């Protein structure tokens, strides 16, 4: 159950980082020295990598399973 909670938290963190990058982009339109957008997008990429890693671990370990109807026919 902890893995599903971690996946939800990481997904929400990715959305928050993407939103903050948009806000920084709009606020810093004229400032050529600001790197806040770059840092926010870098954090988003890192969080997305962690999210994908958690999903791969969950499917590999059997903690997560697909319940799609087209995959249940073979079981």
Structural domain harbouring 48: 2-61
17 falls within a domain: yes
- What pTM was estimated for this model as a whole? 0.82
Integer Cα distance of 48 and 16 in angstroms: 12
50 part of a folded domain: yes
Number of domains composing the chain: 1
How many angstroms separate the CA atoms of 61 and 56, rounded? 8
Does residue 75 belong to any structural domain of this protein?
no
- Tens digits of pLDDT across the chain (75 residues): 899 999 999 999 999 999 999 999 898 887 777 788 899 999 999 999 999 999 999 999 999 988 888 877 655
Rg of the chain in Å (alpha carbons): 17
Residue 3: closest CA among 57, 49, 45, 46: 57
∠ CA 66-12-25 to the nearest 5 degrees? Answer: 130
């Amino acid at each position: 159950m902890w893995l599903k909670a971690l996946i939800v938290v990481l997904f929400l963190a990715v959305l928050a980082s993407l939103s903050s990058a948009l806000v920084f982009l709009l606020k810093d339109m004229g400032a050529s020295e600001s790197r806040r957008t770059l840092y926010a997008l870098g954090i988003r990429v890192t969080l997305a990598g962690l999210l994908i890693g958690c999903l791969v671990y969950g499917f590999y370990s059997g903690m997560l399973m697909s319940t799609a109807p087209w995959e249940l026919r073979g079981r």
